[in-house]
Structure 1
Amino acid sequence: MMLPKTVRIAGILALTTSLARAETPLMCNGLDNGLPFRAATAAVEDDLSDAEPVDPNEFRPQTMPPPRPVIRGADPVWVSIGPSPTRSAQVIVPPDNRVSGAVNAVAPHPTNLNILYAGSVNGGIWKTTDAQAANPTWTPQSDELPSQSITSIEFDATDSNFNTLIAGIGRLSNFAQRGDDELGVYRTTDGGTNWTLLGGSTLLGRKVLAVAARGNILMAATTAGLFRSIDTGANWTLASGTGGLPTGANADLVADPSNNSRFYISVRGASPQLLRSPDSGASWTNITAGVTGLSSSTSTIKFAVGPTGVVFVAVVNSGALAGVFRSPDQGATWTAMDVPTIHPGGQGGVNSAIAADPTDTNIVYVSGDRITASPFTGNVHRGDASLALGSQFVPIVDSNAGNTAPHADSRDLVFDGGGNLLETDDGGIYRRVSPRTNSGTWTSVIGNLTVMEIHDLDHDAVSNIAIAGTQDNGTHIVDTPGNLVWRFISGGDGGDVLADDRTLAPTSSFRYTSSQNWGGPARRTFSAANSQTGNTGLPGIGDAQFVTPIELSVASADRLMIGGASNMYEINNVTSGSPTLTTISTPGSNRGAVAHGVRADASAAYIGSGAAVFKRTGGGAFAATAALPAGAAAITDVAIDPDNVNIAFAVDDNQIFRTIDGGTSWTDVTGNIASISAFDFRTIEFMELQAGDQVAVGTRSGVYATPVNAATWSLFGQSLPNVLVFDLRFDATQQKLFAGTLGRGAFVLTVPMVIDSVFANSFE
């Protein structure tokens, strides 16, 4: 059974003031044979709330991260384990239903159909030179650049060699808008071999929604308005408020492909406006007259420019398409078209796109979040202004596309040089051939694209595979050991995941999964050959979180702890045929801040709740530990020494704390990490290494580690992309550390027998 996406926070009504974001659908799948699975309580399965409240502590003032430390010697290397890509989850496309993760923009080479550039939501910039292949080979362009949150990417049309592109940086993830810092724009003049960060302090913290480049003119539509450079990005000036362009946040910026001096821009606010510039942004003319329905509830206004001066506009209000308009004369006059239903999920603030047909001045394409029936694939329509009202739009997915369809949650529509329609969304990049007809089909252009937003992962040593909960794409597992291609096992926004490779070893294992809001929680049984052989529902809770944290006890895999928003829960017979739930006590835990069990006390636990840490021993209730040192904010994760319940660690966004007396006192051990790493600490992991116990912290620019009794941090391993590390799992038996990143998939590092000062760098 696949339940539809429901209304999310209504668009991005005010990106300048609100970071409230929404998430994804609840789709409860059963075994791999497609049989329906129901949660233990119908109330949980029917809870379709899609919005995860944003924690303001997650959005500190943005900063330029320091350069990474330089690794010395032949230190261990982080190795990607995918998904590259995964298969299935709200998509029906050949060759094998590929899904890679969210891509916000694509730039096709004007003359070479094999060259594409992609800007992923949190996985950086990618390039392929064989885009026409069934499974293109993509190469990351920005792994070492300081931010991987890409909103837009465009060619500079004045470069006749097509080697100059510009890409905008901003947080547009449907995972509560988490991501890298917003640092400005990147520019390349050699086809992507090298990229230069532009914008400096002027663009720092600006959400660049759209970019355009024409020779010496670079533009970025951002939360503060339009910024303009006339010296290829060396200097930037706020253009909003001058030349007839009103102040306020912009929603879109496009260049006219037939005139390098002509641009169109939309401005949000109490009285939204559409404007045209004839002189590269020096002056602007208001062309709003005739476009109706604009108000303070307007989420976004999207432009598409076609041949001979035709312009189309899509108006999205409160997260749903409210109007489509066509102008034959560069916006001097407008005619309203039909309004297709493309946003049943109400998420049009981010998931909207529009493209004008490159040859027919009457045809336009619009896309939204999803269709209204199973399998809830993408929603793309073709409109023809030459037809009578009431008959202008038809869907070009599913039955009008040879029973093929792209992933849900569209983000970009653009034509390649061969007349094919390219669409990007929360699943990747897809191509529609013959878009002017109902007989064309969709195919994947994903190949090995590796941009999955993983927020939770674990490793099953019985099958030697990883399992991950992902943004918008459900829960996935490695297909076979060593295979970079993964496979889908359950839908919705993947929840926290766990692998119990102790209870049934060596023949089988248990894996714990759910979707958002503790939807469809299950204990799945897998054989050593990685085939699902059983599925047992788990009890629901009344105060589920969007991603509800779960942890098995280190000392007893029969004990599962669950972190609700206001209470903690445990199941002390989770491996039985009928698991039963017990309420422990208040408070509930923060999103991922639960550590459970030590070898001498299976019931012991630490949790983070707000800016405090609570502790439980001996099976009792949770009690507050001592106050954390000054500056402590919402705790993002906690960790315990499995051999000593008195030694524990906690992290917030930018500090690390340690106790050696069971929480009677805490010490700030952030140490030198601020000088060698960006913040956004999301995960901390205790590592029982053969060379001595250490703790590792996942940050926005790598994994850093230190001995448990120290406070001098060093980069742990090399070749991990400069991306937000959201979850860490250490396998003590294999001496491997697994990292789940929010935008570049999963990685593994095999720790050597002997460690030289924790992979020492010049800061020590």
Structure 2
Amino acid sequence: MCMISEGEDIIILPPDSMEALAEELPEVAPKWATFHSGARPTVLTAEFLGPRPMYGEYWSDGTVSGRISYVLPHPTDPNIIYVAAASGGVWRTTDGGTTWEPLTDGLPVLSSGALAFDPTDPNVIYYGTGEQHYCGWSCFPGDGLFVSTDAGNTWVKLATTDEVGSYISEIWIRPDDPNVIFVASEDGLARSADGGTTWSWVFTAGDVNSIAVRSDDYDIMFIGVYGEGVFVSTDGGDTWSQITDLPTADIERVELAISPSDPDVIYASFTDTLSALYGLYKSTDGGATWLRLNGTPDYLYSQGNYDHHITVHPLHPDTVFAGGVFPYDTTRHGIVRTFDGGNAWEDITDRTPNGKVHPDIHHFAWGTDGALYVACDGGLWRSYDLGDSWENLNEGLGITQFYTVDIHPDLPDVVVGGTQDNGTAIWYSDWGDDWENVRSGDGGPVLWLPFAPDSFLTTYVSMTYLKMYEWTGSTFNYVAYLGTPWSGDVACWTCGPLKGDPDGDTRTLYAGTSRLWMSTDGGETWFMAADGLVSSSYGYLMSMAVSPSLDTLYVGSSSADFKVSFDGGSTWISRTLPDVSTWEDITDIWINPSDASEVYATIKQTYGAKVVHSTDAGATWTDITGNLPDEYVYSLAVDFRTTPHTLFVGTRRGLFYTTDQVNWTFVSSVPSAPIYQMDIFPEQNFIVVATHGRGMWKVYLPTAVSVAERGEESVVPVALHGRRVVARSHVRIYTVDGRLIATLQAGQKREMDPGAYFALSEVGVFRFVVR
């Protein structure tokens, strides 16, 4: 029911009556749909916490943002650069990399593959979605091909995934006829001859990883095909033949580069079946014959299917750069350079004190001013001297890919989280949107210790290398290395459960691999508490919930196993979730702290049950998936103070919430990046959302609180004096159709036209009428 105050003109809306500002579900967009660069308004307030950027990262020169799939420098203005973040969408700088702005937060998917300009008009930009880097949990399918005709401010969907594929690696447009567009993807090579209105597949014999075209004859095209080799067309893509002078077996990813100044010079880089460097080959006669460059250093190590790219200098065909992983030792290299066509090579990754590029190279690009750009797991670097020095361009990019998050138990302005290849990082509100790196590598599960709230645990991949740190009030300190007590166990790469006593009354800790481990002394020693919880020999525990009494424990696995223990983990009972197939992941579990028999769980499956609820410890279940789209659900957060409970779920394409456990609303104030974990701080009415590609966000809960319940009139964020609105606190004012018209601070005033409006504050959403 509506709660009324201030006469009859201001109404505090219950959450289920907020349709006026609610957004549609982010389903796959239809062809020709139009999107604007910013996120749309929503009934829930969201605040970006960063990182923008992260400082102190070990493997680079210190400042990182997140993985970038593609970089596109403007062809005439060196100050304009576009990047496609792996799962953070398209960003643009107009001042040479000093500041950046996101352009695609309003799109239904932010997974990025490639970018391209119309050769005749750089205001026309093509964005190929879906990341073709073969990286499992961190690479996501896209939603086809988008185009912008106004330099990235608005976007139109130009092609569906059926037309161009779901994982786009490259886009090429004919310079002599920009209506002819080629798109490479996991489905092959697609072509449009009419500017994207219609499409046809001109090659379907495998994943196309790369495209190379002669600069003097656009009909002669080369493509690198995963597991097959290199194919050539001499008729503009109508027909293709395999080049048998190059490897055709025992290979996987194939990257190509052709010299713009001498198109007879072509390079082809192959990975083997272990993702290592099979060989780098060179042709000096347009592809008729090829020579293996046997002196090439190993720039791929064992990650060539993931990080792998080559480029040729625009003016010098013998100057080549190749990129892959990182020089961990003298036999492994990151970015290598040759000036003599491949006879002598030099590693140029680390130029300390003149810059150091982060590991894992995904793309090179050349600026019109001769700058070489490098996109990698850490973000973006630039060199004006062919790699003798490096300039870091990561300030202002908010594209970190988080896996995990945990809020300090007592301090809501301190948050820690694990990221993709940029380590574990910590945020403190006094730092703005800057974060500090705690440890390097991939950041796994994190946990603030309930019994010692200023101490937190961090992990590396597969729950390894457990370390303890402490928060001092303004920074953090390393405390101890706790090892890997479960060494040898199968474990989730970055998502295994790490839990403690919810009330902090004991020093009990839990960790999940293929088995359940337990510590009763705060992590100093561990013992195996339960085996046989996972039905698959390749499976592992993914989720866990612990009751405050420590008696009731729930666990979920990567093999759809769901089990409950009522005696602290000594014995376990199997439960069957509804409409769940055998191999699906039980991604998250939340237990009611006041009633251990009430539990929620989420399942990662496209169809069937995705969110389920039980009030009898899992003996029976209710499917509350409702109107959620057919997308993976990775994470859950529950506000147990409301009736019914308010639920948030993080999906592959953004955040949803429900207040009635039937109808779900898309939270469009948070960009549509994947969300692997969330945490809640109910005392201050917010959750923290760890997106995998757009950093960390704070979202305020949709809890409607009446003036009578608060016992104070000041909860209402605005006062009306005729047609004048006076803000009592920070407030955003929307029209009833969702258009933001004003943002006011306390004490600010605004004259309003007659009509109905919504005032959105941290307390809730209020409807008011100006007469």
TM-score range with shorter-chain normalisation? 0.7 to 0.9
* Structure-2 separation of matches of 1:425 and 1:330: 30
Change (3 A) 1:630 1:688: closer
**What is the CA distance between 1:446 and its match in structure 2?**
1.6
Change (3 A) 1:670 1:298: closer
* Structure-1 separation of matches of 2:556 and 2:686: 26
Query: 1:635: which partner in 2?
Result: 586
Q: Say yes or no: does 1:583 pair with 2:542.
A: no
Query: 1:351: which partner in 2?
Result: 307
* Structure-2 separation of matches of 1:92 and 1:385: 28
| 8 Å CA contact 2:566, 2:572 repeated in 1 | no
* Structure-1 separation of matches of 2:542 and 2:192: 44
Query: 1:617: which partner in 2?
Result: 566
Deviates more, 1:613-622 or 1:689-698: 689-698
| 8 Å CA contact 1:107, 1:117 repeated in 2 | yes
Q: Say yes or no: does 1:672 pair with 2:620.
A: no
Note the alpha carbon deviations across 1:190-243, whole angstroms, 9 max, x for none. Answer: 2111222232252375322211123001111122211111111121111026xx
Report the TM-score, using the length of structure 2 for normalisation. 0.79
1:520 aligns with one of 444, 465, 475: 465
Query: 1:754: which partner in 2?
Result: 704
The 5-angstrom pairing of residues 706-725 of structure 1 reads: 706-707=658-659, 710-715=660-665, 717-725=667-675
Change (3 A) 1:741 1:257: farther
Query: 1:181: which partner in 2?
Result: 141
Note the alpha carbon deviations across 1:670-700, whole angstroms, 9 max, x for none. Answer: 12223xxx52100112213478732221123
Query: 1:86: which partner in 2?
Result: 54
Change (3 A) 1:722 1:177: same
| 8 Å CA contact 2:407, 2:414 repeated in 1 | yes
Note the alpha carbon deviations across 1:277-303, whole angstroms, 9 max, x for none. Answer: 4x54234465x3544x44232332322
1:372 aligns with one of 328, 332, 336: 328
| 8 Å CA contact 1:367, 1:381 repeated in 2 | yes
Query: 1:281: which partner in 2?
Result: 237
1:305 aligns with one of 249, 259, 266: 259
* Structure-1 separation of matches of 2:40 and 2:137: 35
Query: 1:466: which partner in 2?
Result: 415
Describe the SS at the equivalent of 2:212.
strand
Query: 1:44: which partner in 2?
Result: none
* Structure-2 separation of matches of 1:73 and 1:449: 22
Query: 1:152: which partner in 2?
Result: 114
Deviates more, 1:694-703 or 1:320-329: 320-329
1:251 aligns with one of 209, 217, 232: 209
Describe the SS at the equivalent of 2:671.
coil
Q: Say yes or no: does 1:240 pair with 2:185.
A: no
* Structure-1 separation of matches of 2:635 and 2:426: 21
* Structure-1 separation of matches of 2:92 and 2:593: 44
Q: Say yes or no: does 1:228 pair with 2:191.
A: yes
The amino acid of 1:156's aligned partner reads D
Change (3 A) 1:527 1:107: same
Deviates more, 1:732-741 or 1:191-200: 191-200
1:209 aligns with one of 169, 192, 206: 169
| 8 Å CA contact 1:156, 1:212 repeated in 2 | no
1:64 aligns with one of 13, 16, 28: 28
Note the alpha carbon deviations across 1:415-470, whole angstroms, 9 max, x for none. Answer: 111112111111111112211xx7x2011122211111111111124372211111
Describe the SS at the equivalent of 1:349.
coil
Higher relative contact order (CA 8 A, sep 6+): 1
* Structure-1 separation of matches of 2:437 and 2:231: 43
2:99 aligns with one of 133, 137, 140: 137
| 8 Å CA contact 2:202, 2:239 repeated in 1 | no
Describe the SS at the equivalent of 1:183.
coil
Change (3 A) 1:629 1:640: same
Query: 2:636: which partner in 1?
Result: 684
Describe the SS at the equivalent of 1:163.
strand
Query: 1:493: which partner in 2?
Result: 442
Q: Say yes or no: does 1:427 pair with 2:404.
A: no
Describe the SS at the equivalent of 2:374.
strand
The 5-angstrom pairing of residues 26-105 of structure 1 reads: 64=28, 75-93=43-61, 97-105=62-70
Describe the SS at the equivalent of 2:418.
strand
Change (3 A) 1:650 1:273: same
Q: Say yes or no: does 1:265 pair with 2:223.
A: yes
Change (3 A) 1:477 1:324: same
The structure richer in strand per residue is 2
Same amino acid, percent of matched pairs: 23
Deviates more, 1:587-596 or 1:550-559: 587-596
2:646 aligns with one of 688, 694, 713: 694
| 8 Å CA contact 1:272, 1:296 repeated in 2 | no
User: RMSD of aligned C-alpha atoms?
Assistant: 3.2
1:735 aligns with one of 685, 705, 730: 685
The amino acid of 1:251's aligned partner reads N
**What is the CA distance between 1:105 and its match in structure 2?**
0.8
| 8 Å CA contact 1:736, 1:749 repeated in 2 | yes
The amino acid of 2:53's aligned partner reads P
Q: Which runs of 5+ in 1 are unaligned?
A: 1-61, 242-246
Report the TM-score, using the length of structure 1 for normalisation. 0.80
Q: Which runs of 5+ in 2 are unaligned?
A: 1-25, 707-759, 767-771
**What is the CA distance between 1:491 and its match in structure 2?**
2.0
Rg larger in 1 or in 2? 2
